[in-house]
Structure 1
Amino acid sequence: MSLKDDLKGIIPEKELEKLPNRFDIVGDIAVVSIPEELANYKEDIARTIMGKMQNIKNVLNKVSKLEGNRRVAHFEIIAGKSTETIHKEFGFSYKIDLRQSFFNGRLSYERKRVASMVKPGERVLIPFSGVGPFAIPAAASADSIVAVEMNGAACKSFTKNCRLNKLEDKIHIINADANSIPNLLKTEFDRAIIPTPYGMDHFLETISPLVKDGGFIHFYTFKPKEEIPELIEKYEDMGVEVLFYRRCGNVAPGISRWVFDLKK
């Protein structure tokens, strides 16, 4: 049963069509985007979600898109009392305050997939590292991780998460703008994981020179499906081999997040 099905008879059918059928789960928090037209039904929606999923203790209404350099949205608490949680994923735990740090629970499979390719002894670079969901599982195999994150609050949570997962000796966190990476780092890496924000494709060219020949890059971008063949050609012209690519979530009508596994 979908959320809309559960709300039939509570919200009039015409208005119910405007409600997104999906909501995100981060730890014991459910995040839903409620249109303004359904503002009078917020409590009904929260009550339905919490009744449907017994582990949910807080329901947040996402009232803005990601904003500013910290890449965080604004949330309204419509059930519960907190925006803080501990999210567990494939044996790792992450302390997060969604009002201070961005976290995408829908990328859990990608984080596991990429981490499974990291080999013992590798040095890995991860810009846009957030609270550590790509870095921490990768660190379980890697020799060392250099993670760069602009949001100071996210870096503080990331530091706590390194201790929580007993990986603090393997991960070096730099609180800086990813644009400054070429000036900050002069060594080569075996692998780079680049979960770029929307519209920042230039970071592939920024980070690629720091990956050694024969090294690997996992690059995330946002594109319509019809642009993918042209994108593959562009990457190959840059001197990288496209080993694999896949869609990993829709973000807007006609626009999806894609990951490319590249070999330099």
Structure 2
Amino acid sequence: MNLRNQLENKVPEHLLGNVPKRFDIIGDIAVVSIPYELDTYKFDIARAITAVHRNVKTILNKTNKVDGYKRTSDFKILFGNETITTHREHGFSYKFDVGKVFFNNRLSYERQRLIAKINPYEKILIPFCGVGPFAIPAAFYGFKAVAIEKNPEAFKWLQENVCLNKVKDSITLIQKDVTDISTFLNSYDFDRVIVPTPYGMDNILLYIAEFVKSKGFIHFYTFKPESEIPDFIDSAKTLGLETVYYRRCGNVAPGIIRWGIDFKKM
């Protein structure tokens, strides 16, 4: 039963269509985006969620979009009081404060897809690594990983998650701004680079491309209308990058799609 069916007797019929179709469960925390016209019914929505998902201990209402270099949103607690959770995915555990760092559980399939591509001899670079959902599997399945994260709060949890998942010996953590990568990273022989790019930072591909070896791979995420993808793929050719695969990874706004693109350096 979806939320709209549960709330038929609580929310007026003319507003029922505005009830969110979906919400995210991260660990034991539910995150929902309730439109302003349903503010009066936000606690009814929270009760409907807990009625079905009894393992949920906290419900957060996301009140704005992801913003800034920290890639965080603003939240209001509707139920419970604890915002720190442990999220489990593909055999790994990630502990963090949902209200203070960025984590996208909707990229779970993408992370699994990339895990399957990693070879045990590979040296892997992960900029914008957050709390580690791409970096920790890379360290576990690859030979050596280098993870870069600027946000102090995310970096703190990244350090904890490295220990939690027992990959400390196979990963190097760097707390710096990725846009300055050429000033602090002097290794240009990565077999694979995984770039969970923040919105509007496509230009980082220009800096990242030089760090992957010939015949190596870059897994790059970008946010665009479908009509702009051919030009973006063409522009990557000037960096010596051939597109071997790309796919939709969900809509982020009307007409704006998150794309996952696999490049091979020629």
TM-score w.r.t. the length of structure 1 is 0.97
1:81-127 Cα distance to aligned partner (Å, 9 max, x none): 11110000011000010122110010011011112111112111111
Query: Which segment drifts farther, 51-60 or 200-209?
Result: 51-60
Question: Partner residue of 1:27?
Answer: 27
Residue of structure 2 in register with 1:250 after alignment: 251
The separation in 2 between residues aligned to 1:3 and 1:184, in whole angstroms, is: 49
Shift of 1:227: 1.7
1:15 equivalent in alignment to 2:15: yes
State the alpha-carbon separation in 1 of the partners of residues 169 and 8 from structure 2.
52
Q: What letter corresponds to residue 194 of structure 1 in structure 2? A: V
Where does 1:28-177 land on structure 2 (aligned, <5 Å)? 28-177=28-177
3-state SS in 1 of match to 2:168: coil
| CA displacement at 1:34 relative to structure 2 | 1.0
Residue of structure 2 in register with 1:236 after alignment:
237
What is the deviation of 1:229? 2.1
Large movers: runs of 4+ above 6 Å: none
- The percent of aligned pairs where both chains have the same amino acid is 53
Q: Is the 8 A contact 2:209 2:239 kept in 1?
A: no
SS of residue in 2 equivalent to 1:87: strand
The answer (yes or no) to whether the contact 1:116–1:138 under 8 Å persists in 2 is no
Distance in 1 between the 2:69 and 2:141 partners?
Answer: 30
Q: Give per-residue Cα distances to partners, 1:134-187, cap 9 Å, x unaligned.
A: 011111111111111110111110111111111111111111111111111111
TM-score by length of 2: 0.96
The residue aligned with 2:192 is 191
Q: In 1, Cα distance between the equivalents of 2:197 and 2:119? A: 23
Offset, 1:226: 1.7
Indicate conservation of the 8 Å contact 1:72/1:98, yes or no. Answer: no
Q: Superposition RMSD on alpha carbons, in Å?
A: 1.1
**Residue 212 of structure 1, CA deviation:** 0.8
SS at 1:169 equivalent = helix
Matching residue's letter, 1:242:
T
For 1:24, give the aligned amino acid.
Answer: D
| Match status 1:260 vs 2:265 | no
Residue 206 of structure 2 is matched in structure 1 by 205
Work out the number of aligned pairs and report it: 264
- Whether the 8 Å contact between 2:195 and 2:219 is mirrored in structure 1 is yes
Q: Is the 8 A contact 2:217 2:262 kept in 1?
A: yes
Deviations 1:35-83 (A, max 9, x none): 1221111111111011111221111001122233211111111001111
Distance 1:198 1:69 in 2: 10
Distance 1:5 1:127 in 2: 42
Residue identity in the other structure for 2:236: Y
Verify the 8 A CA contact 2:128 2:196 in the aligned structure 1.
yes
In 2, are the aligned partners of 1:46 and 1:59 still within 8 Å (CA)?
Answer: yes
SS in 2 for 1:214: strand
Query: Aligned equivalents of 2:135 and 2:247: distance in 1?
Result: 21
Question: 1:235 deviation in Å?
Answer: 2.0
Deviations 1:211-264 (A, max 9, x none): 111110000001111222222222223311111100011000111100111100
**Aligned residue type for 2:138:** A
**Cα contact 2:127–2:194 (8 A) shared by 1:** yes
Q: In 2, Cα distance between the equivalents of 1:69 and 1:228?
A: 24
